[in-house]
Amino acid sequence: MSKIISVPNESKKETISKNAAKLFRKKGFSATSMRELAVDIGVEASSLYNHIGSKSELLQIICFKVANDFINQINELEQVEIEVTSKLEKIIRFHIHKMLEDYDMVYVANHEWKHLQEPFLKNFLNQRKLYENKLIELIKIGISEKSIKKLNPQVLAFTILSAVRGLEFWQQHKKNIDIAELEKTMVTQLLTGIIK
């Protein structure tokens, strides 16, 4: 077969990872074979191993890329001095943008992380918990400042995360809903509710 075609500024490893993300999202990690991935890329399965270490490594690359992006964003946000509710709004909007830009990778990180091997599995879950705890802390500050209702901060945080992590639905309705409306609706709903 032919060579792996990679666009400039993108290593062949990245090209393989992105294709892997697409397949892992569509079929799941375990149900995706290296042979299928190779076909998609246009090369024999064995040739992939000149560029990557293992199938498992591809999942690691995907999951930690996403985890780092989210951790970095919330870290930057901690430095900024704006109201808690504005921070929450920014977090929600960031999730929406990420889901649109890196749909495959975000989806895989959200749904296929359980197939990571140790020690990567523990590592990933630690990253996740770190992010969740930062969000919970933010909400607690909001409650103490009386800008947020006195409800269980853990539940509030997880509900927001569940809502934005479920943004996959959007991919299937791209045509019907425009992104500005999507953002406005979700921010309004999650922050101020749906009842008039």
Partner DNA sequence: ATTAAAAACGAATAAGCGTTAGTTTTGTAA
Partner DNA sequence: TTACAAAACTAACGCTTATTCGTTTTTAAT
Binding site residues, a second copy, CB under 8 A:
26-31, 85, 111, 114-115, 139, 146-149, 151-152, 154-156, 158-159, 161-167, 169-170, 173, 176-177, 181-182, 184-186, 188-196
Report the nearest approach of DNA to the CB of residue 11 (Å): 8
Our measurement of the distance from residue 180's CA atom to the centroid of its chain's CA atoms, rounded to an integer in Å, reads 20
Is 16 in contact with 52 (CB distance < 8 Å)? Answer: yes
Determine if the peptide bond prior to 119 is cis (ω within 30°).
Answer: yes
161 binds, among a second copy, DNA, none (CB under 5 to 8 A by kind): a second copy
Nearest-angstrom CA–CA distance, 28 and 30: 6
Number of residues that bind DNA (CB under 7 A): 21
Nearest-angstrom CA–CA distance, 115 and 180: 35
Judged by CB under 7 A, which of 26, 35, 97, 174 binds DNA? 35
Judged by CB under 7 A, which of 20, 21, 24, 32 binds DNA? 32
Report the nearest approach of DNA to the CB of residue 189 (Å): 40
Q: Which residues contact residue 116 at a Cβ distance below 8 angstroms, ignoring those fewer than 6 apart?
A: 56, 59, 60, 63, 124
34 binds, among DNA, a second copy, none (CB under 5 to 8 A by kind): DNA
